[in-house]
Structures are given as C-alpha cells and as structure tokens.
C-alpha cells in the first residue's frame, strides 16, 4: 500500500475482495452482483446493476485510506468517514405517488439528495467532491419527459433546497443507466473543505447548457481536485464526445472515443495549470468506461489501447449514456503525491 495517507482507489474482481482486509476500506461499489459477505461488510456498499464487460465475473470499486475510519448509518445513508473525507451511499426505490404528484424517479431523486445533504450537514462535511448516480432506464420517456431530465430537475431542486450551489463550485459527477427494476443508487465522496473545480476549455459548463437539454441543467463540474496534506486526487466526471454543448461524431463510436480522450487531455492540462503541478497525466489515470452497445466494446478498447498503451487497465461497464446519441462515456481518477494550498 502507498505511504500516502489520502484516498486510494483500486478495482478488484469480486472473488479477490477478501473480507479479512476490511481494515482501511472506506467504501465499496459493486457492479453486477454482491456476495452476502460483502453486503454484511462494516463499510458502505453501493450495489450498482451495470454489467461488467470483458472481465471474468463481478467487479468491485474499493476506496481505501490509511487514516482512522468511523462508520455509521443515518436514515438510508450508509457512510464511513476520516478526519478529512466521508464516503457514503444510498439506494432509493421508485414508489408511485398520488395523482398529480411528481414522477416516481423525481421523488426518489429528491429523497436521495435530501438524505445525503442532511447527513453531510449533520456530520460536518458540507462539500460534495464527487457523486456517482445510477438511474434505471435513464433514456426512457415517462410522464411526458425523459427520465434523465426528471433526474436533473429533482437533483437541482434538492440542491437548492439544501442551500447548495448549482453553478460554479459544484461536485464532479456522472449519471448513467442501470437495469430495469433497479433502485436509484447514489454514492459519493464529500469533505470539510471545498474542492477545486475544473472546467474544460473545449466545452460549455454543463450547468450553463441551453434549455434544449432540459428545463433544469445538469449540476456538475467537469472535474474536481480534492486536496489533502500529502496528496491531491483528481476526479474527472463522466466525459463524452461533446464540444461546446453539442454531441459530435454521432454514429461513429471510434471517433467518439477519440474525441472523449481529447476532452480528458484538455481537463488534465487545465487541472495541472490550476494546481501548479505536472503530475496529472493520461497514464496516471484509472479509467471506468461506460459502453452503450456491448458489441462495440472491441472498437472502444482498440482506440483506448492505441492512446493509453498496453499497460492501461480500464474497467468496462454496460450502461446507457445520458444522451441517446452517445455510445461511450469515460470517467477517470488520479491520485498524486504533494498537497497544495490551492
């Protein structure tokens, strides 16, 4: 294990996650399935129903630290915290409401974020750093509106009600599809101190998108940097083939993958500029890749291997993307030594 005391991330096949090694684990996200001993873990476990592609069996995303950890539950939020950061997760099923009420997904989203923000306020970690949202049937139209737009409206309403900003200093995030019948699953990292927010010079900030993308815009920064005393962690939000605010290369998955990597490179350059380092590089990133059509995995994998080299080990998941004309979305994370006062 690294000598750094900040956050550490690793992806492990579920079969290799030894429950005897819970020491130092802040939280886990499982993809595809979770064993009973994982569900009974003394740490938060987010169960995400997005199948793993190109890997044997189910997969775990494991967040570790060398700092002392305290775990707890508040309402439906399971969390674990150190002196500097908290990992938490919540799963909220959709329950049909009374006639004339909000759609079930809207209500589930409001409930999830209300409980998350209430937990963070109670614990004293008010700043969301990174949020992962998994929305069943994200592209389907119900109640006269796409479910992703329902989610965006509810998220923004909950953030405003919780006295959080919805432009500027907002967390990195992603919103992907999940299997039919799954609950809304949200997991997150938050801190005592605000992250440094990074925008992509090639793209319009998502929170400034024009009304054609929904009555209420998505609320996320293109990336954030979390600062600790001896390290920095870069969280790159779900990134896709978008220039300005428009999708480019619709129908060409290979070109979309290349354009996505250009956007990630632009974010790395901006993060290095803002933080005064040169440590954030394509090679330093851990990649999670969302693939809309599993048959296109070889195309995406070929493009990533050409750009990143044979040592890169991206994780591939089958999930719908927030826009119907997007075939691939990539998120990434990097931890480097050296704290800053930025």
Catalytic residues: 329
8 A C-beta contact, residue 260 and residue 329: yes
What is the pairing mode between strands 25-31 and 45-48? Answer: parallel
Q: Please, which residues have CB within 8 angstroms of residue 144's CB and are 6 or more apart in sequence?
A: none
Tokens of 142: 């119900």
> Residue 308 burial by CB count (10 A; 0-12/13-18/19+): exposed, middle or buried?
middle
Ramachandran class of 338: left when φ > 0, alpha when ψ lies in -120 to 50, beta otherwise: left
Structure tokens at 46: 């987010």
Q: What is the 3-state secondary structure (H, E, C) of 55-98?
A: CCCCEEEEEECCCCCEEEEECCEEEEECCCEEEEEEEECCCCCC
Find the helix packing angle between 253-275 and 297-308, rounded to 10°: 40
- Between CA 182 and CA 110 the distance in angstroms is 17
* Cβ neighbours of 116 (radius 10 Å): 27
Residue 249 CA to residue 123 CA, distance in Å, equals: 45
Residue whose token pair is 């750009």:
307
């Amino acid at each position: 294990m690294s000598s750094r005391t900040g956050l550490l991330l690793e992806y492990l096949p579920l079969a290799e996650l030894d429950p005897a090694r819970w020491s130092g684990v802040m939280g886990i996200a499982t993809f595809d399935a979770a064993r009973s001993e994982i569900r009974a873990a003394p740490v938060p476990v987010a169960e995400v129903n997005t199948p793993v592609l190109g890997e044997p069996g189910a997969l775990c995303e494991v967040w570790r630290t060398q700092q002392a950890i305290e775990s707890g539950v508040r309402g439906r939020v399971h969390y674990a915290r150190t002196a500097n950061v908290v990992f938490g997760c919540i799963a909220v099923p959709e329950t049909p409401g009374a006639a004339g009420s909000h759609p079930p997904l809207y209500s589930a989203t409001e409930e999830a974020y209300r409980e998350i923000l209430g937990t963070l306020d109670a614990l004293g970690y008010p700043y969301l750093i990174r949020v992962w949202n998994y929305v069943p049937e994200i592209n389907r139209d119900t109640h006269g509106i796409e479910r992703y737009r329902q989610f965006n409206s509810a998220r923004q309403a909950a953030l405003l009600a919780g006295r959080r900003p919805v432009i500027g200093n907002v967390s990195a995030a992603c919103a992907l599809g999940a299997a039919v019948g799954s609950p809304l699953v949200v997991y997150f990292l938050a801190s005592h101190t605000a992250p440094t927010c990074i925008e992509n010079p090639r793209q319009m900030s998502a929170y400034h998108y024009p009304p054609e993308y929904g009555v209420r815009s998505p609320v996320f920064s293109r990336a954030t940097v979390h600062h600790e005393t001896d390290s920095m962690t870069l969280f790159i939000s779900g990134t896709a083939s978008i220039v300005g605010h428009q999708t480019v290369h619709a129908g060409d998955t290979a070109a979309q993958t290349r354009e996505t990597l250009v956007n990630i490179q632009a974010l790395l350059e901006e993060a290095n500029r803002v933080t005064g380092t040169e440590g954030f590089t394509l090679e330093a990133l851990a990649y999670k890749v969302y693939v809309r059509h599993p048959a296109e995995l070889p195309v995406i994998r070929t493009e990533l291997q050409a750009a990143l080299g044979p040592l890169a080990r991206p994780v591939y998941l089958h999930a719908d993307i927030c826009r119907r004309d997007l075939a691939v979305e990539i998120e990434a994370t990097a931890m480097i030594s050296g704290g800053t006062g930025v």
